Amino acid sequence: MRRTTRSVPRRDYVQLEDALSRRHFIIPDTQIRSSVSMTFIDWVGRAIAHYKPDVIIHLGDHWDMPSLSSHDPAGSRAKENARYEKDVDAGNEAFARLCAPLEKLERRSKWRPRKVLLRGNHEGRIERAIENDPRYEGTIGEHHLDSRDWEVLPFLHVERIDGILYSHYFSNVNSGKPIGGSIDNRLNRIGDSFVQGHEQGFLYGCRQFPTGVTRHGLVVGSCYTHDESYKGRQGNGHWRGVVVLNEVCNGSYDIMPLSMSYLKRTFADKRRPT
């Protein structure tokens, strides 16, 4: 008797992959404060509306909060004119500008992305200020940060979305300090595909395992146009921009970084339709 085997057509597999794959739009640290330009935020909002991702993830440090920085002592030049209210208002204004193209598109279409906002260590300055001086309790707080209708996750929370671990950064389980080094080192320590902010620049790598699984690591912590004075004259050449992840499925994806210069060329025109 002749034995027959049933094979699954390749097109069925491809259709299944297409059905499962999704698009993520990643916004690295935006570091908003009253003394910097917010124009780039408009470009990012228009880019999101253009690409229509399934998930938008802001990696944190949107509200820079320089008035609560412990690195700059009271009376220093950096603290001159620094006020909590100005920090909050600047971040709220920028976040509203970021959301404007999204909310407009949502009102006139069926597009409903998941919108995730991670708290960073800069937003964490508020809680640290309260811990250091309980008199601030009830006077300042994260409730002043207007996050619109976004899903807000606490500082260092790890969220798994479509097989990718997202956090502002990943910490050593023994010391609590951020895991650093190469992408290979981070993949070994974190154990799965991951995306984090916190560190300026762009660092990406992937590793294929004998099982056929590929794990990706991405570190992107700068989405702004200004320079950071603490990095000095030679330290501000880092990459800035956003990252789109296409074909996201079970921790794998195709990566598409969009630099700030590209965003400016493509989305700075206010007349451009979204």
Domain ranges of the chain: 20-267
Strand pairing partners for 159?
166
Question: 97 near 38, Cβ under 8 Å?
Answer: yes
Q: What is the predicted pLDDT for the residue at 71?
A: 60
pLDDT, the chain, mean: 88
Q: What is the predicted pLDDT for the residue at 9?
A: 45
How many CB atoms are closer than 10 A to CB 122?
Answer: 25
Architecture of domain 20-267 in this structure: 4-Layer Sandwich (3.60)
Q: Which of 120, 55, 64, 122 is nearest to 92 (CA)?
A: 64
Question: Which tokens in the block code for residue 127?
Answer: 């809680």
Using CA atoms, how far apart are residues 111 and 44, in angstroms rounded to an integer? 17
Residue 270 has pLDDT above 80, yes or no: no
Token match 């937003």: residue?
123
Token match 């919108």: residue?
115
Q: How many CA atoms lie within 13 A of 256 on its CB side?
A: 14
Question: Which of 57-66, 67-76, 202-211 is predicted with the least confidence, judged by mean pLDDT?
Answer: 67-76
